[in-house]
Amino acid sequence: MFRDLDEVERAERLQDADCARIEVAVDAAERAIAALEARQPGPNERHKELSAIRDRTILATRDVRHNILNRANKAKQTERWMVQKWLSEVNDGRIRKELTADLQKMSTKGLLDYLRYLIEFNELARIQSVNAVFAARPDNARYAAAFEKMMGQFTLSKCGVLGARIARIYWSAESIDAKIVQLLLAHTRIKRLSAPASQPLALTAPVIAGNGCPRLPCERPGAC
């Protein structure tokens, strides 16, 4: 988890730099594949060259991608901490008690839809109530990813520049991973097209006090 705003800013800069390195490597691989196809080599040579391009790209990006994913994991951990911190600070016992009985009658999928509605209208105390009821449901695993995503995005949206930076760190990791996957899938499709029909191929901002955003653990100087 990130400890303070300075660490988030530093991680964002490093994430941008590493993602740019991956993009350069992917672009180089795509140009190499295009040049190979322009030569129209035979099936065996094409397969050998494509495999070499793929392996070089994976090797060149392995360590950089590892660093990107580590920062993304820290960003997600920080987001989860902020969600829990925010939920613990939103405390309206009256509303929570009034809503509990009605929420218990709602399906787990209904809770997810209701959460989306409450987020749209910024109903903080009611969101806390829905979260508590959802957490106690025995069948919540089916909807947990979507629920967590909505809660995380909502919490970060309350945190201005800081929230945007944390979100950008892990979304950039997902984006760059998608580019790598797309490159490998293109490699697989080309292999399949070049293979004989009888030879199937296996898929080888600073937080402003009072804005509702939880502070990071060491945001205040000397706090840790």
DSSP assignment string, 20-59:
HHHHHHHHHHHHHHHHHHHH---HHHHHHHHHHHHHHHHH
Task: Please check the confidence at residue 9 and state whether its pLDDT lies above 90.
Answer: yes
> Where do the H-state alpha helices sit in 90-159?
93-104, 108-120, 124-135, 144-157
Averaged pLDDT, 80-96: 77
pTM across the whole model: 0.76
User: Helix, strand, coil shares of the chain as percentages rounded to 5?
Assistant: 75, 0, 25
Average pLDDT value for residue range 128-137: 90
- How long, in residues, is the chain? 224
Q: What does pLDDT average to over the chain?
A: 83
CA distance 23 to 180: 9
Residue 67 CA to residue 18 CA, distance in Å, equals 8
Tokens, residue 93:
């016992």
Between 77 and 206, residue with greater pLDDT: 77
> pLDDT grade, residue 196 (50/70/90)?
very low
Tell whether the model's pLDDT for residue 96 goes beyond 50: yes
The per-residue pLDDT for range 28-79, each reduced to its tens digit, is 999 999 999 899 889 899 889 988 998 999 999 999 999 999 999 999 999 9
Q: What is d(CA 80, CA 155) in angstroms, rounded to the nearest whole number?
A: 9
Percent of the chain exceeding pLDDT 70 equals 80
- Please tell me what DSSP assigns to residue 126: H
Distance CA 49, CA 32 (A): 9
Report which of residues 128 and 107 the model is more confident about: 107
Q: Residue 71, SS3? A: helix
Report residue 92's pLDDT band, with 50, 70 and 90 as the boundaries. Answer: low
Domain boundaries, the chain: 5-194
Examine the pLDDT at 101 and tell me if it is beyond 70: yes
